[in-house]
């Protein structure tokens, strides 16, 4: 099993193992079976490392219909990899609809909409990001963040995995370990119900 930090923000489906009772308390959206904590619904993991509690945030607008991202679609996904000049996302919401599978999203540094030195100041693995699809080639969605509504809507501390809080100066602070981090924030950072 992945470390707690690697699991933070991970997208899960019902039945997925999200922890063990020796390690965590079972929080909202989870259940315990034979000493293992499992996801009760579709959503993403939030590990509260100070309270040792694992929860699964349930998307509130779950709809079954299949849906394909198109140029202009606004999508939400989880960052899976961050590199110097680009990042990759697993897209699971297109407009108001939740997908049954995933599309891969690629965001290049030239489409961030801000001048940034590297993509680690835009979003990091586990962060939940809202983006717009520019084009779709070979099932890969090329993404843009060039709008105030686009960017990270939830971000997690690189140091300890706790959910980061936005300060007035737009920096993010981890209230658990005091770490300060930068992201390209959506204007409604931390307020979106998924």
Q: Which residues make up the interface to Zn ion (CB under 5 A)?
A: 157, 159-160, 162, 174, 176-177, 179
**Closest CB to Zn ion among 24 and 156?**
156
The least CB distance from residue 161 to Zn ion, in Å, is: 7
- CA–CA separation, 5 vs 78, rounded Å? 14
**Closest CB to Zn ion among 100 and 159?**
159
Tell me phi and psi for residue 98, to 5 degrees.
-90, 135
Q: Are 132 and 168 in contact (CB under 8 A)?
A: no
The least CB distance from residue 126 to Zn ion, in Å, is: 12
- CA–CA separation, 89 vs 123, rounded Å? 10
**Cβ within 8 Å of residue 146, ≥6 positions away:** 111, 112, 113, 132
**Closest CB to Zn ion among 127 and 162?**
162
**Closest CB to Zn ion among 136 and 160?**
160
The least CB distance from residue 143 to Zn ion, in Å, is: 27
> Containing H/E element for 7?
helix 4-7
- CA–CA separation, 94 vs 73, rounded Å? 7
The least CB distance from residue 34 to Zn ion, in Å, is: 32
The least CB distance from residue 174 to Zn ion, in Å, is: 3
- Biggest alpha carbon–alpha carbon distance for the chain: 50
**Closest CB to Zn ion among 4 and 177?**
177
For the record, the structure tokens of 4 come out as 């707690």
């Amino acid at each position: 099993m992945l470390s707690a930090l690697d699991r933070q923000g991970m997208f899960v489906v019902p039945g997925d193992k999200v922890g063990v009772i020796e390690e965590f308390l079972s929080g909202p959206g989870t259940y315990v079976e034979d000493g293992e904590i499992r996801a009760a619904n579709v959503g993403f993991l939030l590990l509260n490392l100070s309270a040792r509690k694992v929860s699964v945030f349930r998307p509130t607008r779950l709809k079954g219909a299949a849906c394909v991202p198109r140029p202009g679609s606004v999508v939400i996904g989880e960052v899976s990899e961050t590199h110097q000049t680009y990042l990759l996302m697993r897209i699971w919401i297109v407009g108001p609809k939740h997908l049954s599978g995933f599309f891969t999203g690629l965001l290049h540094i030239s489409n961030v909409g801000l001048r940034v030195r590297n993509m680690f100041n835009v979003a990091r693995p586990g962060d939940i990001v809202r983006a717009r699809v520019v084009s779709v080639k070979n099932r890969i969605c090329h993404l843009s963040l060039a709008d105030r509504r686009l960017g990270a809507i939830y971000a997690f501390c690189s140091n300890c995995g706790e959910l980061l809080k936005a300060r007035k100066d737009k920096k993010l602070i981890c209230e658990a370990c005091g770490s300060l981090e930068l992201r390209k924030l959506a204007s409604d950072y931390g307020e979106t119900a998924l």
